Amino acid sequence: MAIERIAILDYGSQYTQLIARRIREQNVYSEILPFGTAAEKLRADLPAGIILSGGPDSVFEPGAPGIDEGIFSLGVPVLGICYGMQLMSRTLGGEVAKGETREYGKTEIEAQPGNDLFTGMPARFTVWMSHGDRVERIPAGFKVSATSANCPYAAIRDEARRFYALQFHPEVAHTQFGSQIISNFLFKVCGCAGSWKMEDWIAATVENLRKTIGGDEVVLGLSGGVDSSVVAVLLHKAIGRRLHCIFVDNGLLRHGEAREVEEMFSKRLGLDLHVARAAQRFYAALRGVEEPEEKRKIIGREFINVFAEEARKFRSCRFLAQGTIYPDVIESSSAKKGPSQTIKSHHNVGGLPPDLKFELVEPLRDLFKDEVRAVGRALGMAAELLDRQPFPGPGLGVRVLGEVTEEKVKLLQQADLRVQEEIRKLPDYKSIWQTFAVLLPVRSVGVMGDQRTYEWTCAVRSVDSVDAMTADWTRIPYDTLATISNRIINEVRGINRVVYDISSKPPATIEWE
């Protein structure tokens, strides 16, 4: 089943994922591809249009990311943004030079009349610039579409070939009429119908999964979180009982979570679920370890070891499925053209032993969390499952700061249970991205009754977000915070102080470790 789509060639911009979001919000499917994607690969399944994203490089740098020039001969519209504009101009015979003045931030541009991309917009509006280099001479056949005080070619176009380029970022909220510019490209230039629905994506994905997997079997590490759960139901729809789900009970889950996963997936949804009970194994491996990244690596390693032992029981499985989503790809993987800083390590089953030579299946890797939930809803999954808040792969192992012990985990489980019970009473609970408790390696003096106490401190963290790329702390009502604090201190023996985290991401991360 062919889906009308826009292909985005990724040149490393921090905003590339926003381009994809802005397009999908207008009911047109978009996919992000490596910048080196060959023209012939695109020709085989021709997109309605192509966007060249921005990026941090200069076209003058040795080894700067380039483009297959055949892409400009495919006969489809092309939109270059920032670096994409400079690359397009240079490739098609224009000139790019180092800018005398770096232009960064909000800038007013003056649009020229007669440009389809700016239809319905005033002659002057504010955009978000982010560039050092700039186009000095436009290629033959191009016209000027807009200028700014420091940029004579803030936007250019070649209407005959349907090539458009912008020196600013229409995908960010700081650009006025940015969504309108993208809309004009989609509907006026590319002729998109705007009829894409999540049901279309599901149908195409199921068809593709059946074609890829054939008559083989798939093994999946099921955590019970939204991502792996949606992957499980999606694969179950595609191949039925040839999907084998492995649930590793590592002792680092939320209160009662292991039991809930078994009830939901095995008994209610009818999936082939296999449970590995390995809590003591994880506690032993974590004994004496305090450094956050080392804890993540240990939990990841033990998860892989336990998962591998279970997976070996399925000798006929050819494929391994994972619930990777787009923010995981951004934060955890290296950039397509070089190394990037590791923000944190996500544990997955990508480092399996050599004897387990699975082929990887990641059907959600181009979706954002809200889109994954939309897939789940379209698949008829229960709201109680889809509305579950995100939970880190290493579980409570990164919410017990410092050394992780069984005693501390059970303490945190009880504190977090009170947090969850109270936060669910809020009328806007579903709009909160994530709320949880963190056990700090800090003891403080308290007084309970006539007794002096010297016990642990619990932090409560709650954030609002759309896709976990950025987040702001939730303004929870004081009465709710008071109730949470009162319940934890009075009902959880071992904690005598509760604090509330009011840090945003960035500069903080959502998790403490």
Structure tokens at 226: 């939204």
Please say whether the beta carbons of 236 and 272 come within 8 A.
no
Which residue in this structure is represented by tokens 């399944």?
45
Q: Cis peptide leading into 113, omega within 30 of 0? A: no
Please say whether the beta carbons of 330 and 469 come within 8 A.
yes
In sequence order, what E strands does 373-482 have? 434-448, 451-464, 472-473
Backbone angles phi, psi at 176, to 5 degrees: -65, 140
- Alpha-carbon distance of 240 to 211, in angstroms, equals 14
- Angle, CA 178 vertex, CA 177 and CA 181 arms, to 5°: 90
Helix spans in 148-214 (H): 178-184, 198-213
Please list, in sequence order, all residues whose beta carbon lies within 8 angstroms of the beta carbon of residue 166, skipping any fewer than 6 positions away.
79, 80, 81, 82, 85, 117, 154, 155, 181
Which residue in this structure is represented by tokens 């709710």?
480
With CA atoms as reference, report the closest residue to 66 among 55, 78, 50.
55
Please say whether the beta carbons of 421 and 434 come within 8 A.
no
Structure tokens at 482: 């008071």
Please list, in sequence order, all residues whose beta carbon lies within 8 angstroms of the beta carbon of residue 91, skipping any fewer than 6 positions away.
66, 67, 69, 72
User: Of residues 4, 103, 171, 371, which has the active-site annotation?
Assistant: 171
Please confirm, yes or no, whether 82 is among the known catalytic residues.
yes
User: Of residues 4, 82, 244, 513, which has the active-site annotation?
Assistant: 82
Largest CA distance in the chain: 86
Eight-state DSSP code of residue 347:
P
Q: Is the dihedral of CA 60, 66, 70, 76 positive or negative?
A: negative
Helix spans in 25-69 (H): 39-44
User: Of residues 4, 151, 169, 302, which has the active-site annotation?
Assistant: 169
- Alpha-carbon distance of 423 to 483, in angstroms, equals 10
Please confirm, yes or no, whether 171 is among the known catalytic residues.
yes
- DSSP-assigned beta bridge partners for residue 243: 218
Q: How many CA atoms lie within 13 A of 480 on its CB side?
A: 19
Instruction: Show which residues are catalytic.
Output: 82, 169, 171
